Structure 1
Amino acid sequence: MKKITSIQTIIILLFIASIYVAAISKETAPVAIDYDKEQTQILQLIDTESKAFWDKDYDKWAACWVHAPYIRTMGWWKDGGVTVVKGWDERDSRTKGYMKDFPKPNPQNVRRENINVRIFKDAAWVTFDQYGTDTGEPLLDMPGLSRETRFLEKHNGQWKIAYAGWLLEGKKQ
């Protein structure tokens, strides 16, 4: 029986290692993203969330959000200054309170312009200018120009909002 030398052993081990490395590092095709489909779903979610908020449809509104401690809402308007809401528990309780204190729907006829959407596998960010109407509701109206930002995540195949930001400039139409 022929004895295997150290060099032969090293060559065999290198061969086996190269097969292993090739197998575990085999490149797979990147996940194809249907940008038009995803953008349509994202913009529909933003519209659904806004409409549900102004219509005081809590369940529909809540279904649009990630329910996690890391979510944020940050905004500014001249009557209220800076608003920062940290986490789903705070966002949830504040919105329930608003809807309880102002139960009458105040539908908005918003116009969105300058929409910028960036989509990744399971995340997206969107910026846009939004023009809202003045319905006379002091706490929930967004009349005039508002600079808006949303960060979304995909959970179980569905887009959800994880961050909403806004700067209400006001009456520029």
Structure 2
Amino acid sequence: MVGPRAGYSGRMTAEITLHRGDITQAEVDAVVNAANSGLLGGGGVDGAIHRAGGPAILEACRELRRTTLPDGLPTGQAVATTAGDLPAQWVIHTVGPVYAKSEDRSELLASAYRESLRVADELGARTVAFPAVSAGVYGWPLGDAARIAVSTVRTTGSAVREARFVLFSDEVYDAFARADESSG
């Protein structure tokens, strides 16, 4: 784990911490949801956040689809809603890219983390819990997903004090621990 240091924008970068557990139980200001572009729930982290947060999250996402995001949330972007029944105050929904061997989509994955931090700053969130975006059903190789996540959060200037990666399995936790060690 590495402490805060100056980022590109002159603001501090968040302290990165790693936790093995359930992101829906994270007691933070904002939880990042690895959402799909439709924003209406799904599997994995997305489904777990919608189930645990209750109907308020789905209703807020439906309102976004009715108003500002009629075509859904583009890959690499982020938007916030209420957290409903979660311990957090907000959910920051971001859409990571589907992995493709034939096309380098690393910048879109990095953008999902940068945009989540930007939205956290707009909200005034100081503690943010991240999942391993795109490393599940979207098929991103775990070691590479962890490297991109940790290096992007480490180098993005933000007012967020703690960027907490909440990782569901030992395998994912271990990949993020290796990425954290090698980028520190």
TM-score range for the pair, normalised by the shorter chain length: under 0.3
Select the structure that is richer in strand: 1
Pick the structure with greater CA Rg: 1
The TM-score, its normalising length taken from structure 1, stands at 0.23
